[in-house]
Amino acid sequence: MKLTQHEQSMVRGDMGSEIQRAIEQQIQVGEFWGADRFVEVTNVHMMGDIEVMGDSGLEHLSCMAQRKARCVIRTTTNARCFDFAHVEALGQDQAEAEKEKQLIAHLQAMDVMTTDTCINYQTLYQPHFGEHVAWGDTGTVIYANSVFGARTNFESGPAAMAAALTGRTPAYGFHLDQHRRGTFVVRVEADLRDLADWGALGKVVGQTHQDYFAVPVFDGLERTASADELKHLGAALASYGSMGMFHAVGTTPEAPSLTAALGGNKPTEEVRITNADIENVYRSYDLKDGQCNLVVFSAPQLSLFEMKQLADLMRGRKVKTGTHVFVTTANTVRSDAARLGYLRDIEQAGATVLSGVCFYILQNLSEIRVRNGWTNLISNSAKIVNTITAHKFNTILRRTVACVDIAVTGMLK
Amino acid sequence: MSEVLLTIQVNRALGAAVEGEALVSSEGFSPRYDLDRWSGLITKPGHKLEGQNIRDKILFFPTAKGGIAAGWAFYDIRNKGFAPKALVFGVTNPVMVQGAVFANIPITEGWSRSPLECIETGDLVRVDPARKVIELLRRKD
């Protein structure tokens, strides 16, 4: 890689051992991918919680903080595994919760803003067209690349941390024009009314094209999609397909036309998705004993618009006794939802609203599942019905209205 | 040095040369979704390698799945003593590479022929990133 004088001084250790170690890691990653230089980034979004980092990660952060490592650009954090107001009620480990608090303190000592949200693109920072950033959480990455036309790769915890210390990242993948062009075409002939339909579309396309460098171009959308719809589509593509970018003709900034989205690429394939394909997704789940005592609205965290929709659907109704309903959102959204009365409507119906977390990464989730006798998990998020299966849930995707009906009646259909 | 029975070229590679027992999967992999990080066992119900332990193995996967979490997860696995010796992917993503660099685990991407058709779980193989090759050293007993 060709390094600037500033970067060379980082490598020599002129700026301290932490920056030296960070840039050395970045150079190795860059060289693996054939990067010939770095790009400066303006914003970092990182994943760092005790469940994923473990004791060794905590120890690592503690050492970094003691050695006075500091972020040189604005750095925010993704959803974590504890909402401290609910540790006891959920049956999470107090000792682990204490470690999470230490971890947060270390991050703050390094100037990381512990915002704890996976919808930073809706609540915190909207990079402009062509802006280079270093974001973690696959859903944030695919949204930044596709919807904003900003540029980032999947930057996992240690990689995002390194970018925060050096202010740059290797120029490979979606930082480069050649990887941003569409590689295959998806003709959308389905209606896509509910958020779950958009997630189902992402599942069908992602599952059959598991490749980070595959960039689907959705063509034929009959109307302009909302931010929440694109968020569920992107989250599902990233989760099932490990994808980091898509285009939607007439909707996303690098796709004014199909030709522009492909940028000279000859599409490897043309896929057609109809209403029948979406219905097949809903039909594909095993309902087991037909019992349903867990409904989850999470992954990604709900926007204020999604909170209002849930409040409208739940107002004046009651979750069936013995059934648990969880909603996760960002701290900022919770605050607005409280002020606007949505929180009250959702909580009065019997649902639990967790903030700053995502349901599938909750600490101790496998034991919580067993203790509560949860087998079936119903959600309108195509992402969570995929990611949470490691905790041995049997998951079922349903549309938003159906999810609320199931919560109220306890009847799984 | 043992005789090489078969050689596979890889496109990209990083890390030190290692030898170990192959664990070959026809399905992709995510250390967050598929793995129990307290035992090293692949626990995702229905995964092609369900019930297998990744410890000290040379892992062959056609694809990488989902998840930013791999970045910290490999380091955590290493510190818990369940690290694989190397990661061999058909197609990988940046997170796997970042995680492997941070945890000091050799990683490769791309192959001149599919290991699924020429290497079996239990075979002894060598991964040599500097030479960009994977070599079959001994068939399992």
* pLDDT tens figures, B20-69: 999 999 988 877 777 877 888 887 778 888 889 999 999 999 988 757 77
Contacts of B13 in chain A (CB under 8 A): 32
Question: Phi and psi of A301, rounded to 5°?
Answer: -55, 150
Q: What share of chain A is helix, strand, coil (3-state, %, to 5)?
A: 45, 15, 35
Residue of A154, A160, A390 with shortest CB distance to B93: A154
Tell me how far apart the 2 most distant CA atoms of chain B are, in Å.
40
> A352: which 2 tokens?
């639990």
Over its C-alpha atoms, chain A yields an Rg (Å, rounded) of: 21
| Tens-digit pLDDT profile for residues B71-94 | 898 999 999 999 999 999 999 999
Residue of A52, A56, A172 with shortest CB distance to B69: A52
| Tens-digit pLDDT profile for residues B90-112 | 999 999 999 999 999 999 999 99
Contacts of A386 in chain B (CB under 8 A): 33, 66
Helices (H), A181-330: 195-207, 227-241, 258-262, 275-283, 304-314
Question: What distance in Å separates the CA atoms of residue A244 and residue A116, rounded to the nearest whole number?
Answer: 21
- Chain A from 45 to 84: CB within 8 A of any B CB: 47-48, 52-57, 60, 78
Buried b (16+ CB within 10 A) or exposed e, A316-326: ebebbeebebb
pLDDT at A291: 81
Measured distance between the N- and C-terminal CA atoms of chain B, rounded to whole angstroms:
19
Question: Is A154 in Cβ contact with B65 (below 8 Å)?
Answer: no
CA distances from B77 to A25, A233, A275, B105 (A): 19, 31, 43, 11
pLDDT at B1: 55
Q: Which domains does chain A have, with CATH numbers?
A: 5-177 (3.30.499.10), 181-282 (3.40.1060), 286-409 (3.30.499.10)
pLDDT at B29: 82
Contacts of A208 in chain B (CB under 8 A): none
Q: State which residues of chain A have pLDDT below 70.
A: none
Question: Is B33 in Cβ contact with A386 (below 8 Å)?
Answer: yes
- Name the residue among A23, A73, A84 with its Cα closest to residue A49: A84
pLDDT at A226: 97
Question: Is B43 in Cβ contact with A154 (below 8 Å)?
Answer: no
> A245: which 2 tokens?
């970018």
Question: What distance in Å separates the CA atoms of residue B62 and residue A73, rounded to the nearest whole number?
Answer: 36
Question: Is B44 in Cβ contact with A390 (below 8 Å)?
Answer: yes
Question: Is A154 in Cβ contact with B75 (below 8 Å)?
Answer: no
- Chain A from 210 to 229: CB within 8 A of any B CB: 210-213
Contacts of B27 in chain A (CB under 8 A): none
Going by DSSP bridges, is the β-strand pair A184-189/A216-219 parallel, antiparallel, or unpaired? parallel
At the top level of CATH, which class does the domain B23-138 belong to? alpha beta
pLDDT at A266: 98
Residue A21's contacts (CB-CB under 8 Å, 6 or more residues apart) are none
Chain A contact for B131, CB < 8 A?
A: no
pLDDT at A107: 98
Residue of A138, A155, A158 with shortest CB distance to B72: A158
Which among B68, B75, B91, B92 is the top mutation candidate for probing chain A, defined by the most A β-carbons within 10 Å of its own β-carbon?
B68
> A297: which 2 tokens?
């609205």
Question: What distance in Å separates the CA atoms of residue A177 and residue A158, rounded to the nearest whole number?
Answer: 25
Number of Cβ atoms within 10 Å of the Cβ of A170 = 26
What is the DSSP code (8-state) at residue A145? I
Give the distance from residue A180's alpha carbon to the nearest chain B alpha carbon, in angstroms: 15
pLDDT at B66: 59
pLDDT average, residue stretch B107-125: 96
Residue A400's contacts (CB-CB under 8 Å, 6 or more residues apart) are A194, A195, A196, A297, A309, A310, A313, A380
Contacts of A213 in chain B (CB under 8 A): 91
> A388: which 2 tokens?
């949470």
Question: Is A138 in Cβ contact with B66 (below 8 Å)?
Answer: yes
Minimal-distance CA residue of chain A relative to B97: A29
| Tens-digit pLDDT profile for residues A376-392 | 999 999 999 998 887 88
- Chain B from 69 to 128: CB within 8 A of any A CB: 69-73, 75-76, 78-80, 91-95, 97-99, 101-102, 107, 109
Minimal-distance CA residue of chain A relative to B42: A390
pLDDT at B63: 87
Q: What is the pTM of this model?
A: 0.95
pLDDT at B33: 72
Question: Is B64 in Cβ contact with A242 (below 8 Å)?
Answer: yes
